[in-house]
Amino acid sequence: MKKRLFVICVFCLFGSFLQANTSEEIYFKNGDITLAGTLLMPEGKKSFPAVVFIHGSGQETRDNYLKEAEKWVEQGYAALAYDKRGVGKSQGDANAWNYFSFEDLAGDAAAAVQFLSERLEIDKQKIGFFAASQGGWVAPLAAVKSGKVAFMVIQSASVSTVSEDRIFERAARLKAEGFNDAEIAEVREMHLLDEDVSRGKYAFEKFAQLWEQHKNKRWLSRYDGRREPMEAEHAYRQWYRSVMDFEPQQYLEQLSIPVLWLYGDAAVDRFCPVELSIQRLEQMKAKNRDYHILSFPEADHSLVIHKKNALLLRNRCLNGWHQKDYNCSPNQAIRAAKATFSLASSFWA
């Protein structure tokens, strides 16, 4: 699945900062599971807009998002970051982060929105999501479940099935490692059949025969580290069958909220099919969706360029989106990268 995504958003600000001097350990429930997190709020007694951070893949805790959350708070938002179920102080199966359920993850995020909506300090009409990578699958389902989500900012998220994402990711990784086109084509043939075995569409014997045919190829150990092909009813396949054809479009179609989509360079991001995702988003945008879709040249999955933090480019466009200035192109962002910008409270005016 996807690599763990560390989102480190550094806003360059001007003017008077709102101080993030309220930090509260909080707990909220999704069914029988209690989740633990941190709620940060600006100073003051007014009703604040709020953002909930949705995890990428991996054993994510709130700590991965607190720096980002602090910057939102400086701009007048309450921000809630929580430990993924089964991780940190949150209850749940310790393997839930690996053998995950989109229903569970989305339910957790929706429960966070419900928790915020019951707080007197929060404007319940102005609660949104910030989601990255795997979180981009979770957020649309969570927004549908909640019915109380006003906006989403989604970064480096695949608008595809989990299966499509895995096929892309494996091919992109092998290409980056120096395998040639013919080898990658062999891997794709193997991978497509492997996916169908997981779906139960083909007999395992056909996959095993292809494995035998390629067992001495140099790419096999990078395709799958096992010495033998995974059995048709292996526990992993049984779990994977439950998520492999999940796709976010059906839930996005049910939403009419503004969404800012942020991507790296299709030639650089090895963990997200950027071109396919943007193509599908443009098709949905043509149906009168309030989408603003940006990609940043040379940026990777974490929106980093050449190992330097290049998130000013993202933030320039994020700020423009908050100001309802939707004409911020990537080139404009690049030219403006050395300047300072702030989130505008006029977004909710």
Where residue 308 falls among pLDDT bands split at 50, 70, 90? low
Measured between alpha carbons, how far is 294 from 199 in angstroms, rounded to an integer?
34
Where residue 43 falls among pLDDT bands split at 50, 70, 90? confident
Largest CA distance in the chain: 68
**Which two tokens mark 166?**
């895995």
Q: What is the pLDDT of residue 303?
A: 82
**Main-chain phi, psi angles of 329, to 5 degrees:** -85, 165
CA atoms within 13 A on the CB side of 287: 10
**Nearest of 286, 293, 256 to residue 156 by alpha carbon:** 293
Mean per-residue pLDDT over the chain, rounded? 82
* Mean pLDDT along residues 15-32: 74
Domain boundaries, the chain: 22-160+247-348, 162-241
**Residues of the chain above pLDDT 90, percent:** 59
Where residue 145 falls among pLDDT bands split at 50, 70, 90? very high
**Which two tokens mark 7?**
């989102």
Q: What is the pLDDT of residue 22?
A: 87
Q: Are 195 and 244 in contact (CB under 8 A)?
A: yes
More confident residue, 283 or 344: 283
**Nearest of 165, 57, 153 to residue 105 by alpha carbon:** 57
Work out whether the CA dihedral 183, 184, 185, 186 comes out positive or negative.
Answer: positive
What residues contact residue 198 under an 8 Å CB cut-off, 6+ apart?
237, 240, 241, 244
Measured between alpha carbons, how far is 224 from 54 in angstroms, rounded to an integer?
29
**Which two tokens mark 144?**
């549908």
Q: Are 266 and 295 in contact (CB under 8 A)?
A: yes
**Nearest of 302, 299, 300 to residue 334 by alpha carbon:** 299
Taking domain 22-160+247-348, whether its CATH number is 3.40.50.1820 is answered by yes
Q: What is the pLDDT of residue 4?
A: 34
* Mean pLDDT along residues 127-140: 95
If you write DSSP's letter for every residue of 237-282 in order, what string do you get?
A: HHHHHTTTT--SHHHHTT--S-EEEEE--TTT-SSS-HHHHHHHHH
* Mean pLDDT along residues 215-223: 89
Whether pLDDT at 250 is above 90 = yes
pTM beyond 0.75, yes or no: yes
- Tell me which residue has tokens 């360079």: 265
- pLDDT tens for 260-287 read 899 989 999 999 999 999 999 999 999 9
Where residue 312 falls among pLDDT bands split at 50, 70, 90? low
- pLDDT tens for 61-115 read 999 888 888 888 888 899 999 999 999 899 988 888 788 899 999 999 999 999 9
